[in-house]
Amino acid sequence: MIDQKNLLSQINEISFTVNDLNLYLDTHPLDENALNAFKDAMTQRKQLLQTYADNFEPLTMNCICPDSNNKTNSNTKYPNQRHFTWSDGPLPWEGGAF
């Protein structure tokens, strides 16, 4: 089973890296190493966000998929029904990951 708190921590760490690289690239848009690092970090972030969405709830609008989110039927008013999962919860900032 996936540790929700650990996965959320990984997402926060890679999101910090993405944001930091974004700021750097604003002033150094031709830096090849930074461009590659940004691409790699974004790929990792997307994968982690998708893993979180598949196992818990989507953290961003990009991860919402009524066909695949909340397969465990945890914290939902609509178990075993295809539904918009953004409102299932509690979400991490509401204490859901702890």
- Taking only the tens place, the pLDDT of each residue in 38-74 is 999 999 999 999 998 888 888 888 877 766 656 666 6
CA distance 68 to 12: 23
Answer with the residue of higher pLDDT: 2 or 44: 44
CA distance 38 to 49: 16
* Percent of the chain residues past pLDDT 90, beyond the cut: 49
Position 1 scores a pLDDT of 80
In whole angstroms, how large is the CA radius of gyration of the chain?
16
Position 20 scores a pLDDT of 98
Position 63 scores a pLDDT of 77
Angle of CA points 52, 85, 11, to nearest 5°: 20
